[in-house]
Amino acid sequence: MTTRHTTALPYVIHRGDALRILRELPDAAVDAVITDPPYCSGAQTMAGRARPTGDKYINKSTQTQFPDFEGDFRDQRGFLAWASLWLSECHRVTRPGGHLLAFIDWRMLPTMTDAVQVAGWVWQGIVVWDKTNGCRPQRGRFRSQSEYVVWASRGAIDTATHPVVLPGVIPVHPSRGGKHHQVGKPEPLMDQLVGIVPPGGTVLDPFMGSATTGVAALRAGLQFVGAELSAGYFATAEQRLAATCKGIQR
């Protein structure tokens, strides 16, 4: 495991397996977990699931090609067992009343909501990311225009502490704010999601990828803890977080 940390900066990031890193974090250390784990979707068969992520999720006509990411091969039962493990650790490291926001698609949405509850979280609802007209049309079908954020809390939410009102549907074109990962989320989307975190709080992302969650957290004046298995994406995350801090300090 590689760790990058300095007391002069409002973030610490780790390179390694998410579950192993989570087990090393202290209890009740963060205010929210906001993460975009591998969906293990995009195929109907095990052979299809085992294909490289670029084959499953990326249009080959796309000009910029990003590296594949790991861990996207599990079937539905495997995903349920695996997600229950890391979600349980996330529950432990989140303070009482803290939040979980976990991205997922329509195929794995029921499995993710099961795993969230198995792990001890109180399921509070779903936030919809509306991709607007940013997804390609399909003849004779409805557009696959949405992805979902499963929202849960560790116990009851103290609404008096952070009485924020946030939208349940967030319309953001997928390409807004640039892209640094095969399935990276738009920065304006993440800027809205981190609004659930109380001022000065700490956000954890155990599947940080290129650290778009971390960038949004830092811009909102929050602390950030991240983990990433891929060396390439970890390096990108380091660069983006450092650049964000420099921009804030100017």
Res 41: pLDDT = 82
Which of 79-83, 86-90, 134-138 ranks highest by mean pLDDT? 86-90
> Locate tokens 């192993």: which residue?
20
| Stated length of the chain | 250
Nearest C-alpha neighbor of 108 from the set 147, 69, 145, 158: 147
2-249 fold: Rossmann fold (3.40.50)
| Beta-sheet strands, E only, within the chain | 2-5, 11-15, 30-35, 94-104, 122-130, 146-153, 169-171, 202-205, 223-228
- 45 vs 48: CA distance, rounded Å: 5
In the predicted model, is pLDDT for residue 61 greater than 50? no
The Cα–Cα gap between 102 and 178 comes to 21
Q: Which candidate, 88, 121, 109, 67, places its Cα nearest to that of 18? A: 88
Share of the chain above pLDDT 90, in %: 70
127's tokens: 């936030």
Mean pLDDT of the chain: 87
Domain boundaries, the chain: 2-249
Looking at residue 123, its pLDDT comes to: 99
12: burial class by Cβ within 10 Å (0-12, 13-18, 19+)? middle
What is the arithmetic mean of pLDDT over 18-25? Answer: 97
Q: Of 152, 163, 76, nearest to 111 (Cα)?
A: 76
* pLDDT attached to residue 74: 75
Q: Give the angle 27-29-35 at the CA atoms, nearest 5°.
A: 105
State the Cα angle at 39 between 36 and 43, rounded to 5°. 155
Which pLDDT value is given to residue 75?
84
pLDDT at 120 over 60: yes
> In whole angstroms, what is the distance from residue 230 CA to residue 184 CA?
14
Question: What span, in angstroms and rounded, lies between the C-alpha atoms of 61 and 97?
Answer: 45
Tell me what the mean pLDDT of segment 165-190 comes to.
83
Strands 146-153 and 122-130 turn out to be antiparallel
